[in-house]
A and B are shown apart, each in its own frame.
Chain A
Amino acid sequence: MTVHGGIGQAIKRKEDARFVRGKGNYVDDVKLPGMLYLDIVRSPYAHARIRSINIEKAMKVPGVLAVVTGKDLAMANLAWMPTLMSDKQMVLPTDRVMYQAQEVAGVVAESRYAAADGVAAVEVDYDPLPVVVDPKKALEPDAPILRPDRKEQTNRIWHWEVGDREGTDKALKSSDVVVRENLYIPRILVSSIETCGCVASFDAMGKLTLWMTTQAPHAIRTVFAMVTGLPEQKIRIISPDLGGGFGGKVPVYPGYVLAVVAALKTGQPVKWIEDRSENLQADSFARDYHITAEIGATKDGKLTALRVKTIADHGYTDAAANPSKFPAGLFHIITGSYPFQKAHVEVDGVYTNKPPGGIAYRCSFRVTEAAFTIERMVDILAHKLGMDPAEFRMKNFIPSGAFPFKSVLGWTYDSGNYPAALRKAMDLIGYDALRKEQAEKRKQGELMGIGISSFTEIVGAGPSHTFDILGLKMFDSCEVRIHPTGKAIARFGTKSQGQGHETTYAQILAEELGLSSEDISVEEGDTDTAPYGLGTYASRSTPTAGAAAAIAARKIRDKGQKIAAHLLEVGPGDLEWKDHKFQVKGVPDKAKTMQEVAFAAYTNLPPGMEMGLEAVDYYDPPNMTYPFGSYICAVDIDKETGEVHIRRFVAVDDCGTIINPMIVDGQIHGGLTMGLAPALLEEIQYDENGNIQGGSFMDYLLPTAVETPKWETAKTTTPSPHHPLGAKGVGESATVGAPAAIVNAVVDALAHLGVTHIDIPMTPWKVWNILHQKGVA
């Protein structure tokens, strides 16, 4: 027997009812009486000393009420704030700007337009300083030191390494074949269609309510309490409907802090909404990894060892939102789907005159960089050996019987079946027929390529023994209350940004409680009401809060069983939870539903039992989950223009148990598109003076419906053995897995011309130049 809206059902989403009517409540829709507007003066220079800031003219602009500068903040000890990686970051500068578009002053006015007028009237006198754009040059001995405030007088922030250095060296030396490649994964921005913003308001009792675009409201409350000194119970963070997040709404940006300061200073509510250009030019970036990888194999095609060196451009401060112990995130998942015997990975974090950030782009802490590197290198090696890349992967996969599998760099993969996923993808796309077609086309001089990516992810951070952010363990939570009539409300520590939590969490609870999902409402994002949790990013909601929902429901069932026993006048041990009811074992028609039990919980309890029917669970996952998949992409390349056309793209994903297949497919479609984006279109570049070359949607090209192919999806299901539902998380898999498949396809199309690698984005201009050099175009 199934419940309505239980696990595995493709029910329509609850949240859509308001969104299709234009009745969502996003932060810019919040309007309070007397609300003022904040706009921000930003630096035209990437590196400069501030000689003076003249606010006289700005204060005379009609409607302008206040201008906040770094000096004002310094008096309150708020000019700097800590980052999550034990570094520090400016709210506003007192003497020096470190990147173009850095916040320099805040203007508060009665309207958006007056605030913008005020911004234009602030006069800042700058003295330009030498700019460091290239992280490799930043490490040279004569490079200007960008952070003289640090004890270590170098632009190297940290060095991090893992694995067996000597063993890897030896293994590579004794390998029959070794290939080496430099891979640059450029700086990109998530660009959720809603930009960031907030509304800050203090009540008469000094309590701050902050409506804010944040994916992690509870952690943000704690950070705000620590930074501002406000008592934590006097801070209420409300994360309303979010217009996408993808990691870009995890950090604390200076604008948020400025809005709070402005609300304090003026005694009125203050709204700050950034423009798209501000969002692209100053918000948290992703990637920017300069990778050199070497991979070895025996001559018959068995992988031996992997060595990776990386320079990570962090901008002027390390503000990556990584778990504390992982400065390079989970980059050491880089051995991927293969049982390497030896591996060594090192990363150097480097300061440059660019905005900070470091992980945000629909990716669990540098997992995309890792998956891209290994899937690219495996392909290069297969080509070098003259082996088919599918055959080469099949030969080298971690065998399906080897799980749980301990990787050479220390992760314990919970489950996997890599050959099954690749086989399925090959069957769906008709791999052998495509290869034949490719051979034919090549004879006719046409360029067609087939690329594979068989990635392994690591998500669901994470177990408390290893994972924390600022010391806060990375658990998540669910609190469920069942009302007397058998309807329920559940609150979570996470925060949906479009993933459909209101629907999927209700499905989990429906399944576990025997209620209809229609009768369960889900709330998130209000720190005054929801239980504490670390938030939604890194594909962690279903692995952590989804598990908490299941466990909380089971706690309710434990109590419910006693109540049902009381109602049925049997012992609790005589009952079992079967067909979503409490049944007397072997007597199916002697049973009580959860609804009946709920009514009794408030009206007819066993003697001595506490009233009510509710539970809360703070879930500490025992391990990470390891979603995986195999993607195959077929491309045609236009010789005249260099344009890459994705003819077909088949994505086989395995995210364990699926809560709602419709939503999972939607997540994969979106993820694939955010995998295509950096592969073909998106990049934030800087010129030698630190000027951003992709600072608006005119130059930073998001995929439209025209460039995006008709994605084809399929699943294999390998449940996680440690998750209460067997689920693994799916939000990011496709963004992690797709870029390598696309690059592998394009390189495959050009392999006969001697091309082994093309850095992304593979724009028509870049590809055409290669064709031109090779005498094809």
Chain B
Amino acid sequence: MAVAEMPAAREEEMGPTANIRVTVNGAPRSATVETRTLLVHFLRENLGLTGTHIGCDTTNCGACAVLLDGKAVKSCTVLAVQADRREVRTVESLETDGKLHPVQEGFIEEHGLQCGFCTPGMMMSAVALLQKNPRPTEEQIRRAISGNLCRCTGYVNIVKAIQYASSKMKAGPSGGRRA
């Protein structure tokens, strides 16, 4: 496992550390981290899950959004130790058995992404929304993603992508439970 790859010699040099166990995308992961380590850095650097991005330093952009126990959070404002014994889902978990999640499909079909940098966070917010509210109105979608900034698309096609996913999930065999 790519966890705890800091050599032991350097641990003495680090600040206070803690042992954490986090279920990430369904798999149990454990590591010793500096207590100040942000969840986003733990995911990206310790676990190599680089799909979660960093776009700001003030919790405004949402590029780092992941699901923590099923709720969308900005992982730049959560410490890794706060995720101890909890469950994290990142963009890498959306595709299952070689099949894209309806939200992923919607983003491709409706041209809901351009540079792709905000996309993982945007999709995780969308997944969280559809879990709570499988048939959101346009207004509700816009509010739900207002904590995710996109500089390329002007949001019109992102809204359509989420609407696409909403109708697909309603029609699909696994219904709303997929999210």
Write the residues of chain A forming the contact surface with B, with a CB cutoff of 8 angstroms.
12-13, 15-24, 26, 28-29, 31, 62-63, 110, 112-113, 190-195, 241-246, 273, 275-277, 497-500, 662-663, 665-666, 669-674, 696-698, 702, 704-706, 708, 710-711
Contact = CB atoms under 8 A, between A and B. Distances in A.
Nearest to A24: B116
Given A22-B51, A194-B115, A697-B61, A669 B120 contact: no
Contact of A246 (B14, B58, B151): B151
A191 B117 CA distance: 12
Contacts of A277: 57-58
A19 B116 contact: yes
Q: Which 6 A-B pairs have the closest CB atoms?
A: A22-B51, A243-B117, A498-B115, A19-B116, A669-B154, A62-B13
Contact of A702 (B50, B145, B151): B151
Main secondary structure of the interface of B (DSSP, over half): loop
Contacts of B90: 22
Given A113-B34, A696-B57, A29 B146 contact: no
Given A193-B151, A696-B57, A697-B58, 17 more contacts: A20-B91, A20-B116, A22-B49, A22-B51, A26-B53, A26-B117, A28-B54, A193-B55, A498-B114, A666-B111, A669-B155, A670-B154, A704-B147, A704-B149, A705-B145, A708-B156, A710-B156
A414 B125 CA distance: 46
A292 B36 CA distance: 52
Main secondary structure of the interface of A (DSSP, over half): loop
B67 interface: no
Interface in B14-65: 14, 34, 36-37, 41, 44-45, 48-58, 60-61, 63
B61 A276 contact: yes
A203 B142 CA distance: 48
A21 B104 contact: yes
A277 B60 CA distance: 12
30 contacts: A12-B108, A16-B116, A18-B116, A19-B113, A20-B123, A21-B51, A21-B92, A22-B52, A26-B117, A63-B14, A113-B37, A192-B151, A193-B53, A193-B117, A194-B53, A194-B115, A246-B151, A275-B57, A276-B55, A498-B114, A662-B111, A665-B111, A666-B114, A670-B114, A697-B61, A702-B151, A704-B146, A704-B148, A705-B142, A708-B154
Contacts of A193: 53, 55, 61, 63, 115, 117-118, 149-151
B36 to A, nearest CB: 7
Given A12-B109, A22-B120, A276-B57, A666 B153 contact: yes
B100 interface: yes
A724 to B, nearest CB: 26
B146 A20 contact: no
A665 B112 CA distance: 11
Nearest to A22: B51
Contacts of B53: 26, 28, 193-194, 243
Nearest to B123: A20
A62 B117 contact: no
B60 A669 contact: no
B61 A16 contact: no
Interface in B103-152: 104, 107-109, 111, 113-120, 123, 138, 141-143, 145-152
A227 B170 CA distance: 59
Contacts of A24: 51, 116-117
Interface residues of B, number: 62
B159 interface: yes
B125 to A, nearest CB: 10
B156 A669 contact: yes
Given A112-B41, A243-B116, A276 B36 contact: no
A246 B152 CA distance: 9
Contact of B60 (A19, A23, A242, A698): A698
A76 B92 CA distance: 45
B63 to A, nearest CB: 6
B111 A244 contact: no
B62 to A, nearest CB: 9
A16 B155 contact: no
A205 B43 CA distance: 34
A12 B119 CA distance: 16
B111 to A, nearest CB: 5
B169 interface: no
Contacts of B36: 113
Contacts of A13: 108, 111
Give the residue among B94, B153, B155 with the most A Cβ atoms within 10 A. Answer: B155
B69 interface: no
Nearest to A274: B57
Contacts of B60: 696-698
B153 A706 contact: no
A706 B116 CA distance: 20
Nearest to B52: A22
Nearest to A12: B108
